[in-house]
């Protein structure tokens, strides 16, 4: 059934269709509508889940961890400062190998206080052991939420599904909402490997001597590596069932492309328009959309950029003292590749400033006109 | 670690840090250094009740629909719920924590509701403690005397009550008008006490046809003669025709005698007697003005009585005192009064009335003056062996006087002037007499300013105040008003003014009760305990599973009504 819905409600519908059993959440702009709608689903009997109201995001994640330990399909949603407050418990979720799914609406960190989109909040959590997906459209948001449970429950690691504040969260788009029976056939009920049970108590997350600790971290990394292939498989299977396929990255008009834009999230759709425009003029410009950020899809990125001369990485984030985080990751991915295109690291759109087709045209022009970047970070549209 | 760990394959490596063995052996309660303890504290209403009722307990029973048990809970302490539910000044409500969130619980109306239940009233006896054949004499059949007689009779004593008047009930009968307390309510409550075997002999006045020395057959005597003599105005003209002391006026009206009043009546005073006299005079057709020397704030009368008097058309004139009753041919014709200003507070805490020089004025055309300035006991009837101070009989904390086996209570000993205080005082004496006649020491009675319980109560004496409650659990809810007869109707006769609660009103008020300091099985602790250590017991609260309780104190903090305490664990490990 097709409905015109906002990105936040795409998350809510995805969670409903996935038959989540426990939702623990705390409100924060611009995420609140996600859990508002879920609480209504629970109250109206449209979702047979326990909705736990908590007093902070730290507690939201802690309750979700507890529910997942008890064998429930558990999820939550947050944004920016809420995610930052969860930081400690994100490690607990991943280290306990709990297949929790969380939606994070990308919002710039304060101060200055901001509610608009930026990726620094989620990217700052990249080392916690969570998978991270960045979504381009509301349809992709809904589809990714459903896939996220399947991936998480296959590899036993938590998954974060990321969408842009307002550009997706509050913007209405037509979204195909699949029927429950089909989703049920795609996503069977969750079977916990370990379960917290009052009748058979065990200690979870206890002290771990150096004898054991490293091996668990080794297994987490192995699971992350496995997650790349699992993501591709689940994305392909999803395509067979629902008619919309997904992979770790998406190549758009990349044949013979000399200049490649690397984007993620909603900037991708803006860039598609510009790429079409430039292709129509005969310019060899392509687009690589990064969907999966953790684990980082090294092989797919190397393969996609193998023929490019110049790569323009568009970062709506910053790691202070380093630069755009995607640019750094792309550079590190290409170091071991036989071919090293020039990387043009652009930073744009921080704090939710609009990224327009003209912004992308400017990025492409700069890349075309320069043999190499003038600076370590190419700051676009800074008022200086 | 004794053994070196080698993982043969990746699959051997553990996925997550989870103990292989059970953790049942690990009683994590041993980590605790603070211990939560279910311990009911004292609600402010209970603390304030001079009759020593367990108000919170009976409100909770009402909430559960257990009306008969609720009434029994009152009757344990007070055989006069029908009287108190109507005439008590309800100090419990003044202290009620609910007052700050929608108005105090209408406790007096709840008490009346339970008293008036259409269920057969039965006063329960207790296991007899009286020595064989023990007899006690009670002098005075007011609330103190009958409360004492009741508590003794239910413990197996043979009690004879001697009453000076031809009717039993003391001030309840002759002081309080029937529009506040219908006679049949009082009759029924006295009859229930008599049904326990208490003999009431009327027309026996101490110092007249009865002497203490006549009572040799009784092993103990309780003296509760009350205060039936009104204080005098001490102004010229007080002996004129048309001056009728308040208590005498009320006694005559309440005993059904004809009283001649002029068309215009002035009542002097600001207490309950003044209000009762004014409203009674109004009902007899008079135009009534009350003169009070202080302001409304200082008036000792129950505030509802003042409001109802005003509604009915009684005029109140404050800061005015008579200096002379004007007469012609030895009959009252008017009042000469002086204006008063309030000075510094006196020993009673109220501001001292000071006449304003040159402010005298005359009220013309007054036919009847009713002085109601408070009352005192007539102690001339006592023999010299009984110690008195002022107009009060001196007793110790057990109510014992200076004379062997003679106890005293009620207004004549305490001067407190309310039915509830008298009931508490009579109960105290009964418990003391019971101990005395069993040869026990009388040394563990609380000060006379506190109340005593007939039924043992194991609670922490700490009083729960508003700020001790967890206000997150309570919203503002309005107090339920008690219906009354319309003013235009009620001033025509002596029929009851207040009409009492319907069941739905009573349930509404019981629901509003915070149950301060008293567990009412609300499940909050049980829900909040992060260690699942609160265990529900069927119908009687909870217990803490100390094997696992870590003393985090969440239950204590969260308890809406401060019914859980927390103490240092070390104290319990001695």
The pLDDT tens digits of the residues spanning B129-179 come to: 999 999 999 999 999 999 999 999 999 999 999 999 999 999 999 999 999
CA dist A220 → A295, A299, B10, B16 (Å)? 11, 19, 12, 9
Looking at the structure, tell me whether residues B70 and B195 fall in a common domain: no
Contact yes or no for A98/A139 (Cβ under 8 A): no
Backbone phi, then psi, for A305, in 5-degree steps?
A: -95, 5
Looking at the structure, tell me whether residues B109 and B211 fall in a common domain: no
Looking at the structure, tell me whether residues B399 and B324 fall in a common domain: no
Return the DSSP state at A194.
S
Looking at the structure, tell me whether residues B363 and B247 fall in a common domain: yes
Question: Residue B1: what pLDDT?
Answer: 43
User: What token pair was written down for B362?
Assistant: 């005359």
- CATH dotted code for A2-242: 3.40.50.970
Contact yes or no for A323/A347 (Cβ under 8 A): yes
Looking at the structure, tell me whether residues B116 and B143 fall in a common domain: no
Asked whether residue B18 is assigned to any structural domain, the reply reads no
CA distance linking residue B485 with residue B483, whole number of Å = 7
* Domain ranges, residue B554: 26-48+55-74+88-122+458-574
Chain A residues with CB under 8 Å of a chain B CB are 95-97, 156, 193-194, 198, 200-206, 208-209, 211-212, 215-216, 218-219, 222
Contacts of A205 in chain B (CB under 8 A): 16-18
From the list A97, A206, A209, the residue facing B15 with the nearest CB is: A97
Contact yes or no for B195/B187 (Cβ under 8 A): no
CB contact, 8 Å: B256 with chain A?
no
CA distance linking residue B474 with residue B433, whole number of Å = 44
Contact yes or no for B71/B114 (Cβ under 8 A): yes
Looking at the structure, tell me whether residues B248 and B215 fall in a common domain: no
C-alpha distance from B568 to closest chain A C-alpha (Å): 28
Give the residue from B3, B7, B15, B19 with the most A CB atoms within 10 Å of its CB, the best one to mutate. Answer: B15
Looking at the structure, tell me whether residues B558 and B471 fall in a common domain: yes
Burial environment of residue B562 by CB neighbours within 10 A (0 to 12, 13 to 18, 19 or more): buried
CA dist A44 → A41, A49, A146, A278, A379 (Å)? 5, 11, 22, 50, 49
The tens digit of pLDDT for each residue in B331-345 reads 999 999 999 999 998
User: What token pair was written down for B443?
Assistant: 């040394």
C-alpha distance from B530 to closest chain A C-alpha (Å): 11
Asked whether residue B559 is assigned to any structural domain, the reply reads yes
Other CB atoms within 10 Å distance of the CB of residue A254:
18
Sequential DSSP letters for B359-416: --EEE----EEEE---EE--GGGS-TTS-EETTEE---TT-B-SSTTEEE-SHHHH--
Q: CA nearest B186: which of B72, B87, B77? A: B87
* Residue range(s) occupied by CATH 3.40.50.970 in chain A: 2-242
Answer yes or no: do A211 and B1 touch at CB < 8 A: yes
Asked whether residue B525 is assigned to any structural domain, the reply reads yes
Looking at the structure, tell me whether residues B170 and B115 fall in a common domain: no
Burial environment of residue B475 by CB neighbours within 10 A (0 to 12, 13 to 18, 19 or more): exposed
Question: Residue A211: what pLDDT?
Answer: 79
CA distance linking residue A300 with residue A250, whole number of Å = 9
Asked whether residue B463 is assigned to any structural domain, the reply reads yes
> Which helix H or strand E contains A242, and what residues bound it?
helix A210-242
Other CB atoms within 10 Å distance of the CB of residue B296:
14
Question: Residue B122: what pLDDT?
Answer: 82
Contact yes or no for B111/B197 (Cβ under 8 A): no
Contacts of A185 (CB under 8 A, 6+ apart): A241
Give the residue from A54, A203, A226 with the most B CB atoms within 10 Å of its CB, the best one to mutate. Answer: A203
Looking at the structure, tell me whether residues B240 and B370 fall in a common domain: yes
User: What token pair was written down for A242?
Assistant: 């629902």
User: What token pair was written down for B233?
Assistant: 């105005």
Crossing angle of helices B272-283/B303-312, nearest 10°? 20
Q: CA nearest B520: which of B529, B530, B528, B510? A: B510
CB contact, 8 Å: B10 with chain A?
yes
Looking up residue B361, the CATH number of its domain turns out to be 3.50.50.60
Contact yes or no for B308/B490 (Cβ under 8 A): no
C-alpha distance from B307 to closest chain A C-alpha (Å): 48
Answer yes or no: do B14 and A215 touch at CB < 8 A: yes
Answer yes or no: do A156 and B15 touch at CB < 8 A: yes
Looking at the structure, tell me whether residues B245 and B342 fall in a common domain: yes
Q: CA nearest B248: which of B231, B263, B266, B225? A: B231
Contacts of B17 in chain A (CB under 8 A): 95-96, 204-206, 208, 212, 216
Return the DSSP state at B332.
E
Contacts of A198 in chain B (CB under 8 A): 532
Answer yes or no: do A209 and B24 touch at CB < 8 A: no
A94 upstream amide cis, omega within 30 of 0: no
* Residue range(s) occupied by CATH 3.40.50.920 in chain A: 249-379
Contact yes or no for A23/A38 (Cβ under 8 A): yes
Asked whether residue B81 is assigned to any structural domain, the reply reads no
User: What token pair was written down for B94?
Assistant: 């003044």
Question: Residue B123: what pLDDT?
Answer: 87
CA distance linking residue A78 with residue A28, whole number of Å = 7
Answer yes or no: do A193 and B15 touch at CB < 8 A: yes
Question: Residue B336: what pLDDT?
Answer: 95
Looking at the structure, tell me whether residues B360 and B389 fall in a common domain: no
Q: If DSSP states are collapsed to H, E and C, what string results for B155-220?
A: CCCEEEEECCCCCCCCHHHHCCCCCCCCHHHHHHHHHHHHCCCCEEECCCCECCCECHHHHCCCCE
Answer yes or no: do A219 and B22 touch at CB < 8 A: no
CA distance linking residue A160 with residue A101, whole number of Å = 6
Residue ranges in chain B whose pLDDT is less than 70: 1-5, 384, 574
Looking at the structure, tell me whether residues B474 and B543 fall in a common domain: yes
From the list A194, A215, A218, the residue facing B18 with the nearest CB is: A194
Other CB atoms within 10 Å distance of the CB of residue B574:
4
CB contact, 8 Å: B390 with chain A?
no
From the list B14, B23, B26, the residue facing A216 with the nearest CB is: B14
C-alpha distance from B473 to closest chain A C-alpha (Å): 16
CA distance linking residue B404 with residue B212, whole number of Å = 12
CA dist B352 → A354, B270, B306, B374, B551 (Å)? 78, 14, 21, 17, 54
Asked whether residue B555 is assigned to any structural domain, the reply reads yes
Annotate B406-443 with b (16+ C-beta within 10 A) or e (fewer). Answer: bbbbbbbbbbbbbbbbbbbbbbbbbbbbbbbbeeeebe
Question: Residue A90: what pLDDT?
Answer: 98
User: What CATH architecture is A249-379?
Assistant: 3-Layer(aba) Sandwich (3.40)
CA distance linking residue B140 with residue B351, whole number of Å = 35
Say how many domains are in chain B: 3
Mean pLDDT per block of 10 residues along chain A (384 residues) reads 97 98 97 97 97 97 96 98 98 97 98 97 98 98 98 98 98 98 97 86 86 90 98 98 98 97 98 98 98 98 96 98 97 93 97 97 98 96 92
User: What token pair was written down for B108?
Assistant: 């007096």
CA distance linking residue B17 with residue B12, whole number of Å = 13
User: What token pair was written down for A28?
Assistant: 């924060």
CA distance linking residue B228 with residue B208, whole number of Å = 16
Asked whether residue B527 is assigned to any structural domain, the reply reads yes
Answer yes or no: do B16 and A216 touch at CB < 8 A: yes
Residue where a domain terminates, one of B332, B358, B376: B376
Asked whether residue B389 is assigned to any structural domain, the reply reads yes
Burial environment of residue B533 by CB neighbours within 10 A (0 to 12, 13 to 18, 19 or more): buried
> Is the pTM here over 0.90, yes or no?
no
């Amino acid at each position: 059934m097709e409905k015109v819905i906002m990105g936040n409600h795409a998350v809510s519908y995805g969670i409903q269709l996935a038959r989540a059993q426990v939702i623990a959440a705390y409100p924060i702009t611009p995420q609140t509508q996600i859990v508002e709608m879920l609480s209504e689903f629970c109250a109206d009997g449209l979702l047979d889940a326990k909705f736990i109201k908590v007093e902070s995001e730290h507690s939201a994640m802690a309750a979700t961890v507890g529910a997942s330990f008890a064998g429930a399909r558990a999820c939550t949603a947050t944004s920016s400062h809420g995610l930052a407050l969860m930081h400690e418990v994100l490690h607990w979720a991943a280290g306990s190998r709990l297949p929790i799914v969380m939606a994070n609406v990308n919002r710039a960190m304060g101060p200055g206080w901001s509610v608009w989109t930026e990726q620094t909040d989620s990217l700052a959590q990249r080392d916690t052991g969570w998978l991270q997906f960045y979504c381009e459209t509301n349809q992709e948001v809904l589809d990714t939420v459903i896939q996220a449970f399947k991936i998480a429950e296959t590899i036993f690691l938590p998954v974060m599904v990321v969408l842009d504040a307002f550009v997706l969260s509050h913007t209405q788009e037509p979204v195909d909402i699949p029927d429950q029976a089909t989703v049920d056939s795609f996503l069977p009920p969750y079977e916990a490997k370990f379960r917290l049970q009052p009748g058979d108590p065990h200690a979870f997350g206890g002290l771990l001597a150096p004898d054991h600790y490293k091996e668990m971290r080794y297994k987490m990394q192995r699971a992350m590596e496995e997650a790349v292939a699992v993501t591709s498989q689940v994305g392909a299977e999803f395509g067979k069932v629902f008619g919309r396929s997904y992979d770790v990255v998406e190549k758009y008009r990349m044949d013979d492309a000399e200049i490649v834009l690397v984007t993620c999230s909603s900037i991708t759709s803006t860039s598609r328009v510009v790429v079409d425009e430039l292709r129509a003029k005969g310019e060899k410009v392509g687009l690589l959309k990064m969907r999966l950020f953790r684990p980082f899809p090294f092989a797919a990125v190397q393969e996609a950029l193998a023929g490019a001369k110049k790569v323009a990485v568009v970062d709506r984030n910053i790691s202070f003292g380093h630069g755009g985080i995607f640019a750094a990751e792309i550079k590190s991915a290409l170091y071991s590749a036989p071919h090293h295109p020039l990387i043009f690291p652009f930073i744009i759109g921080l704090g939710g400033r609009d990224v327009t087709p003209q912004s992308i045209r400017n990025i492409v022009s700069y890349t075309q006109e320069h043999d190499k970047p003038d600076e370590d970070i190419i700051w676009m549209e800074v008022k200086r | 670690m004794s053994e070196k760990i080698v993982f043969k394959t990746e699959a051997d490596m553990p996925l997550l840090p989870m103990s292989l063995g059970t953790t049942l052996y690990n009683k994590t309660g041993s980590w605790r250094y603070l211990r939560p303890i279910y311990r009911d504290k004292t609600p402010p209403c209970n603390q304030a009740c001079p009759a020593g009722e367990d108000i919170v307990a009976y409100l909770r029973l009402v909430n559960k629909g257990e009306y008969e048990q609720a009434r029994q809970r009152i009757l344990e302490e007070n055989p006069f719920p029908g009287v108190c539910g109507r005439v008590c000044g309800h100090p419990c409500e003044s202290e009620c924590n609910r007052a700050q969130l929608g108005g105090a619980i209408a406790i007096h109306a709840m008490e009346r509701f339970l008293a008036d239940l259409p269920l057969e009233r039965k006063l329960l006896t207790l296991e007899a403690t009286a020595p064989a054949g023990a007899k006690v004499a009670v002098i005075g059949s007011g609330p103190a005397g009958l409360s004492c007689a009741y508590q003794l009779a239910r413990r197996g004593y043979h009690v004879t009550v001697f009453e000076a008047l031809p009717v039993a009930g003391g001030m309840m009968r002759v002081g309080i008008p029937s529009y506040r307390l219908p006679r049949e309510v009082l009759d029924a409550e006295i009859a229930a006490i008599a049904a326990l075997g208490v003999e009431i002999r009327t027309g026996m006045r101490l110092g007249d046809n009865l002497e203490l020395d006549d009572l040799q057959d009784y092993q103990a005597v309780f003296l509760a003669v009350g205060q039936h003599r009104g204080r005098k105005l001490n102004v010229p003209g007080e002996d004129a025709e048309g001056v009728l002391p308040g208590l005498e006026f009320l006694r005559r009206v309440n005993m059904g005698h004809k009283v001649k009043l002029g068309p215009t009546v002035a009542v002097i005073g600001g207490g309950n007697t003044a209000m009762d006299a004014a409203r009674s005079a109004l009902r007899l057709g008079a135009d009534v003005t009350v003169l009070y020397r202080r302001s409304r704030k200082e008036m000792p009368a129950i505030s509802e009585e003042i409001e109802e008097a005003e509604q009915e058309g009684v005029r109140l004139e404050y800061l005015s005192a008579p200096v002379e009753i004007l007469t012609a041919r030895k009959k009252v014709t008017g009042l000469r009064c002086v204006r008063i200003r309030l000075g510094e507070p006196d020993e009673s805490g109220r501001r001292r009335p000071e006449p304003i020089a040159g402010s005298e004025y005359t009220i013309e055309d007054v036919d009847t003056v009713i002085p109601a300035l408070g009352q005192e006991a007539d102690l001339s009837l006592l023999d010299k062996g009984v110690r008195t101070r002022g107009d009060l009989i001196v007793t110790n904390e057990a109510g014992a006087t200076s004379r062997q086996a003679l106890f005293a209570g009620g207004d004549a000993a305490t001067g407190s002037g309310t039915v509830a205080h008298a009931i508490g005082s009579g109960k105290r004496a009964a418990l003391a007499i019971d101990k005395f006649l069993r040869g026990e020491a009388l040394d563990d009675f609380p000060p006379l300013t506190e109340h005593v319980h007939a039924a043992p109560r194991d609670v922490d004496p700490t009083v729960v105040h508003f700020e001790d409650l967890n206000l997150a659990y309570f919203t503002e809810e309005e107090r339920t008003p008690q219906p009354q007869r319309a003013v235009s109707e009620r001033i025509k006769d002596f029929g009851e003014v207040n009409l009492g609660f319907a069941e739905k009103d009573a349930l509404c008020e019981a629901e509003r009760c915070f149950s301060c300091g008293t567990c009412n099985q609300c499940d909050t602790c049980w829900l909040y305990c992060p260690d699942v250590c609160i265990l529900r017991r069927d119908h009687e609260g909870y217990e803490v599973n100390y094997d696992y309780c870590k003393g985090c104190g969440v239950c204590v903090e969260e308890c809406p009504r401060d019914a859980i305490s927390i103490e240092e664990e070390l104290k319990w490990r001695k």
